[in-house]
Amino acid sequence: MKRFTLLVFVFSLFVVSPLFAQSASDLELKQTLEESFRNSNEIHARFDDNFYWSETSSIRVEVLNGVVSLRGIVTNFESKSAYIKIAETTPGVTEVVAKIRVIPSARKVD
């Protein structure tokens, strides 16, 4: 029984844990992407004062082993394309999985 417990522990330590662990480089990559999205003129130039938006906070970024997953909602296809382009051209990104939905923006209510 002790061997079985030890075997399960070693298996979970070396096989299962890395599948769910996010490396330091993945965390740095996530921070880089989030900052790039916040500072992107390509994303923010799509809007004016007549529309409300907080797209940079509505896009969730996850990174695992260089694979970037983008999830959320944007108001137009140009913004969706901009998010994907920024992610694809960021050094260290090996793949982009974009699950971004486009829902036209709503007018501000005064």
In a 13 Å sphere around the CA of 94, the CA atoms on its Cβ side amount to: 7
Q: Distance of CA 52 to CAs 42, 48, 49, 105, Å?
A: 17, 8, 7, 7
Q: How confident is the model at residue 108 (pLDDT cuts 50, 70, 90)?
A: very low
pLDDT higher at 94 or 15: 94
Domain boundaries, the chain: 22-102
Which residue type occupies 88?
A: E
SS (H, E, C) the chain: CHHHHHHHHHHHHHHHHHHHCCCHHHHHHHHHHHHHHHHCHHHHCCCCCCECCCHHHHEEEEEECCEEEEEEEECCHHHHHHHHHHHHCCCCCCEEEEEEEECCCCECCC
Other C-beta atoms closer than 10 Å to the C-beta of 47 total: 15
Q: For all residues of the chain together, what is the average pLDDT?
A: 76
Lowest mean pLDDT among 15-19, 20-24, 66-70: 15-19
CATH class of segment(s) 22-102: alpha beta
pTM of the model: 0.66
Other C-beta atoms closer than 10 Å to the C-beta of 74 total: 25
